[in-house]
A and B are shown apart, each in its own frame.
Chain A
């Protein structure tokens, strides 16, 4: 559980949040050109198609970049410092902003393999997708 600015969801984005609540990640996929836009939307930014369907993703990603914040970017994060804010690239392609949790911030590096981790948001029934180092033996 952690305190967060609460995401203002919409009917269109609700399946993304519902999936996170079930411990899964899903992003849109264009049925016309197979592009996976993120964030979710009604029209494909790659081909203009309007047939975007929800399609589960593996939850595996690599860190594209990151920073370790020592000052809270918003007071709600004051108890979570140092906070690792990152851009991750999902195995299926899209990049998204997230947090890296479950390790010493000093261990985070560009290219590191990470995986989806559900993070409940305080005072809500919402779950935020964050990422932690991939737990692989060897």
Chain B
């Protein structure tokens, strides 16, 4: 069975990324954006019978049940998706699959992250970041007995910067890649963000020279090639084909999906050309019956500039080793010849934890629905959204279209 045309995204809502949130709890943040998404779709909560959420710091278990009670849902399908930055995209096809299997008819895919300014005297922090205790003591939390804690963290392989920097080093060794080629991605995405009032960097222009003049955090990556953590939330309503006509918004049909999980430690990542990025993307395109060249919008996970370049070639938008030249020779803005991350990408829109990955999905849906506003891609019929988790460990590709 293919997922093509089984379900469509018909509504969405977001809390624009901000550096920090206030006193609102994570459950209140999620409830608020859930209500807005249902209103956007014109679907009453009594009609929502599927719920997809992700692990939430401070909630040790029972996450779907806790969220369902808070939002006021009694789902017949309740799912916890744990794919890091690919979680949002992973929710969408799971929702369609559950609908296709007859388990439910309308799903709420819900993501969000709080982020509180840490008081200087307090060791407490909340949200999707590592607890402060982990940063101020050499011993990892007693409960973290993962292979990562034993074999990666003792070397400083902590967080994502180091891992993506090593991917960039290896890529440059195999194919050649200049700092300016990577910077071009950040700059074109910023131009998109400059047309998106919800973007965290809406009012700040960016040049290649700005990127290259920013501090090198870990070679070869500069500060302005690295996503900035933020707080925010995003929710998407996915409904069955026979219910689409009842929704308030035009449908963004899910035409194809693919997923791949290949490793956890960066040391065990497959070689370029064999990554899960390509596995997920090829599955998405083939199940949709679509070629990458047919797509009018690429909404690609961008925790770092190098991730966009890797995805461009592993997903088949250009040949192996040509991503740097591809980025340099194409206009990646919403009015350009290869519209990419038209919301600004997480680099310029903001990365609100798991909602950051969902932003690539919400932008693809919004653009397919023709609701892109000042940054609408003209004559758009097909969009590709890609989610990536861990150090290229978890991958999900989605193809959306205006027609079933």
Query: Footprint of B on A, CB under 8 Å?
Result: 3-10, 13, 38-39, 64-77, 80, 83, 85-87, 95-99, 110-111, 121-123, 128, 130
Contact = CB atoms under 8 A, between A and B. Distances in A.
Contact of A3 (B138, B168, B219, B267): B138
B140 A5 contact: yes
Interface string B349-384: 000000000000000000000000000000000000
B152 A64 contact: no
A116 to B, nearest CB: 14
Nearest to A88: B267
B217 A121 contact: no
A80 B140 CA distance: 19
B151 A70 contact: no
B56 interface: no
A121 B136 CA distance: 17
The 3 closest A-B pairs by CB, nearest first: A67-B165, A65-B170, A69-B218
B149 A5 contact: yes
Given A67-B219, A68-B218, A9 B166 contact: no
A92 to B, nearest CB: 14
Contacts of A97: 151-152, 155, 157, 265-267
A119 to B, nearest CB: 9
B139 A6 contact: yes
B154 A65 contact: no
Given A71-B215, A72-B156, A74-B156, 9 more contacts: A5-B158, A7-B150, A65-B167, A67-B168, A67-B169, A69-B219, A71-B161, A97-B266, A99-B156
A95 B268 contact: yes
Nearest to A64: B170
Interface of B: 134-136, 138-140, 144-145, 147, 149-159, 161-162, 165-170, 173, 215-221, 265-268
B268 A65 contact: no
A121 to B, nearest CB: 7
Judged by DSSP, the binding face of B is: helix
B151 A96 contact: yes
Contacts of B150: 7-10, 13, 39
Contacts of A5: 138-140, 149, 153-154, 158
A54 to B, nearest CB: 16
Contact of A6 (B154, B219, B268): B154
Contacts of B147: 39
Contacts of A96: 151, 267
Contacts of B173: 65, 110-111
B144 A8 contact: yes
Given A8-B140, A68-B218, A73 B169 contact: no
Contacts of B215: 70-71
A66 B138 contact: no
Contacts of B161: 69, 71, 73
Contacts of A68: 218-219
B176 to A, nearest CB: 12
B1 to A, nearest CB: 30
B224 to A, nearest CB: 14
A57 B156 CA distance: 24
A8 B150 CA distance: 5
Given A3-B138, A4-B138, A73 B158 contact: yes
Contacts of A73: 156-159, 161-162, 218
Nearest to B171: A65
Nearest to B170: A65
Nearest to B141: A8
13 contacts: A8-B140, A65-B169, A67-B165, A68-B218, A71-B217, A73-B162, A86-B166, A87-B266, A87-B267, A97-B152, A97-B157, A97-B267, A111-B173
Nearest to A76: B138
A71 B218 CA distance: 7
Given A39-B151, A67-B162, A71-B217, A85 B268 contact: no
A69 B166 contact: no
Contacts of B157: 73, 85, 97
B267 to A, nearest CB: 4
B166 A77 contact: no
B392 to A, nearest CB: 13
B145 A66 contact: no
Contacts of A130: 155
Nearest to B138: A76
Nearest to A94: B267
Most chain-B Cβ atoms within 10 A of its Cβ — which of A39, A77, A85, A97?
Answer: A97
A97 B152 CA distance: 6
A74 B153 contact: yes
A77 B268 contact: no
A43 B136 CA distance: 35
Contacts of A39: 147, 150-151, 265
A69 B145 contact: no
A126 to B, nearest CB: 9
Given A74-B135, A87-B267, A67 B166 contact: yes
